[in-house]
Amino acid sequence: MFSKTVPLEKGSKKLINAWASYDWANSVYSLVISSSIFPIYYGSLFQEIKTINFFGSPIKYTAMISFITAFAFIIISIITPILSGIADYTGNKKKFMKFFVYLGSFSCIGLYWFDLKTIYLGLTFYFFALIGLWSSLTFYNSYLPDIAYPEQQNRASARGYSMGYIGSVILLLFNLSMVMNPELYGIDGSKADASMLAMKYSFISVGIWWALFSQISFFYLPKGNLINKITKDVLWNGFKELKIVLDQLMENIRLKRFLIAFFLYSMSLQTVLLIATYFGEAEIQWSNSSEKTIGLIVAILLIQIVAIFGAILTARASERFGNLTVLIVINIIWAFLCIRAFYIHTPTEFYLIAGLVGMVMGGLQSLSRATYSKYLPTTNDTASFFSFYSVTEKIAIIFGMIMFGTIDQITGSMRNSILFFAVLFIAGVILLLRVPRHN
């Protein structure tokens, strides 16, 4: 199926493209499941019933999905250090990456059975799909310093995000045509029922796409060359490695301050991205359900298309002005967008915000990953350092989603949560200003 020279040289275009192709593979989850079709499907299920009976307590459906997401990231934060420690010790990150790719992709297929009658089963599949995606990204991100030299990492990281945007848009367009014109695909029934069934088929397409295109990365990425065997002590190696990483961070002022800033603005960024479509579904004044479905997907497509150029422009800007300067500017823009989102009500306003989000969404993620990679001390233990980065990101999401769900549940509106996250972006700016430009 593929041809390669074993092993591919670090810094080679072929190896970098093979690494970046995993963004092409997994980003369909982020777009179709996290951002567009699943939130629309989920919202449609609860058009009449707005709460879920959870162990006798009524929980607002939007708050429920945020709590499930937070719980998933608690589990991810616990298992990531353990698995990263084993991966470092045995020298085979690829096996662990494969396991979580298949866990996530098969869970996406399982979302086909997500219904009001099987709400707990559906939420379980949603839970495991999240674990599969984010755990696989821990190992994927840790390959960046292994496959690219420092001067290549900004563009390599941006290339991954750009490939992800392109691939996910292609699949979303296919799924959109299936949802809007189910009869063309032989899906029978009333328009509403057929569209809902088409959304279920979309979940299956995500699982297949994710597993299929991951094979490119699996084929080319280096396996590792250590042959250590797993012992009972290895299970705790990850936490020991994190302690070692933490000790090194305490001595590295630049990396320590950057990670604190990253924690705060990542808390806002990841939470906003995870709940954006739920916000549009519940808070924007759509004239009817058809306009809502089309409008939300169009907005998400707009974000993805603009984000392709945003990630590239961010990488180029960082080469001219420096990573920290660009990160500060992007955080300021994000704070403005959150404040503006608090006041929007119409579809037109929602589209405008979506376009601006696209410009800064991928740039902040891509540049944060590349900046962290550049700030790392010289080490062969990249998995543990990126495990620490990953755990930091996951804990930020846990806090973010719990805050969002709590504010949403208490106030009955997601708008108050969005305004709170603007404050965190501003705090991120202040902390980034304290990061030394040089060691």
Mean local confidence (pLDDT), 246-275: 83
Task: Please give the pLDDT value at position 210.
Answer: 96
d(CA 17, CA 149): 14
> For 15-29, 101-115, 129-143, 266-280, which range has the lowest pLDDT when averaged over its residues?
266-280
Q: Which of 200, 350, 362, 348 is nearest to 279 (CA)?
A: 350
Q: Which residues contact 278 (CB under 8 A, 6 or more apart)?
A: 39, 42, 43, 62, 65, 414
Tokens of 90: 């045995």
> For 51-60, 313-322, 393-402, which range has the lowest pLDDT when averaged over its residues?
51-60
Query: pTM for the complete prediction?
Result: 0.75
d(CA 384, CA 214): 23
| 1.10.150.120, 3.40.605.10, 1.20.1250.20, 1.10.10.10: CATH of 13-220+232-432 | 1.20.1250.20
Q: Return the higher-pLDDT residue of 14 and 246.
A: 14
d(CA 323, CA 399): 26
Mean local confidence (pLDDT), 109-134: 92
Q: Which of 396, 421, 394, 406 is nearest to 64 (CA)?
A: 406
For residues 139 and 96, is the Cβ–Cβ distance under 8 A? yes
Q: Give the burial class of 151: count Cβ atoms within 10 A of its Cβ; 0-12 exposed, 13-18 middle, 19 or more buried.
A: exposed
Residue 403 clears pLDDT 60, i.e. is over it: yes
Q: What proportion of the chain, given as a percentage, has pLDDT over 90?
A: 18
Single-letter amino acid code for the residue at 76: I
Residue 320 clears pLDDT 70, i.e. is over it: yes
